Amino acid sequence: MMIWLDGGLQDVESARVSVFDHGLTVGDGIFETVKATHGQPFALTRHLERLTRSAHGLGLPDPDHDEIRRACAAVLDANPMPLGRLRITYTGGHGPLGSDRGEHGPTLVVALGETARRPDTTAVITVPWTRNERGALTGLKTTSYAENVVALARAHQHGASEALFGNTVGQLCEGTGSNVFVVLDGEIHTPPVSSGCLPGITRALTVEWTGARETDLPLDVLERAEEVFLTSTLRDVQAVHRIDSAELPAVPGPVTAKVMRIFAERAGHDLDP
């Protein structure tokens, strides 16, 4: 396996990041996960634009899009596989043992891991912890992911693949690595970015391609929704058949099934929408 580290390809066995890298010591970093099918990345331009927005939010230098594109191409070419998870990580770089940054400049890592197509349906749980819709990192895709690790571990303990959060005012927000959509009276709704959710790439495309509405939703909307589905880079559109202990009937429902078809068709016709 070959990865890109700070300017070139390296063997995964010899590539090393400093133990003083700010991404390791204080979680001062950002990342993107990009789906790659037979060596072709999907929606890379949108991912790079979001990476830059996250960099601005953390006060990191603007990532060099041309370099990252070269890095992605090199890694994909060096590691052929049918379906891959392309991970772009960009950190504050070598720094002191504290919150202050050093002067060495950022670290860039691009790596690839093989993955499999997700099932058409999945189970989710709700968790008692909240997303802070007013936090300094709200809406940024940072490497400060420990909260998601804890919540996802709980989901796995309950036979689910995802955990859903509310925010501090009791509204539905997002999953640990996904956005959530609900169907009410035949209409598709998803929490707005103001809820504290990450502005997902697949979420945005789903809204654009289906006319889904961004709506403030109470967390208990999950108890009365006709259909529920998740979106993310590696899930695409995935129906939910169980929420906590409640089973949803006839999954995927007709609206979700249509969204799945629309997304597959549109994404298949344009790799960089």
pLDDT digits (tens, 9 = 90+) for 156-200: 999 999 999 999 999 999 999 999 999 999 999 999 999 999 999
The tally of CA atoms less than 13 A away on the side-chain side of residue 100 is 4
CA distance 200 to 238: 14
Q: Where are the alpha helices (DSSP H) in the chain?
A: 22-25, 44-58, 65-78, 146-157, 201-210, 254-269
Q: Does the CA dihedral 66-72-73-78 come out positive or negative?
A: positive
- Give the closest residue to 68 by CA, choosing from 143, 141, 4: 4
Q: What pLDDT is attached to residue 250?
A: 87
201-210 vs 254-269: helix crossing angle, rounded to 10? 110
- Fold (CATH) for 121-269: D-amino Acid Aminotransferase; Chain A, domain 2 (3.20.10)
Asked if the model's pLDDT at residue 103 lies above 90, the reply is no
Q: What pLDDT is attached to residue 64?
A: 98
**Mean predicted confidence (pLDDT) in 93-105:** 90
Written as one letter, the residue type at 36 is: A
Indicate if 121-269 has the same CATH topology as 2-114.
no
233-267 pLDDT tens trace: 999 999 999 999 999 988 999 999 999 999 999 99
Name the architecture of domain 2-114: 2-Layer Sandwich (3.30)
DSSP at 195? G
Q: What pLDDT is attached to residue 235?
A: 98
- Give the start-to-end residue ranges of the domains of the chain: 2-114, 121-269
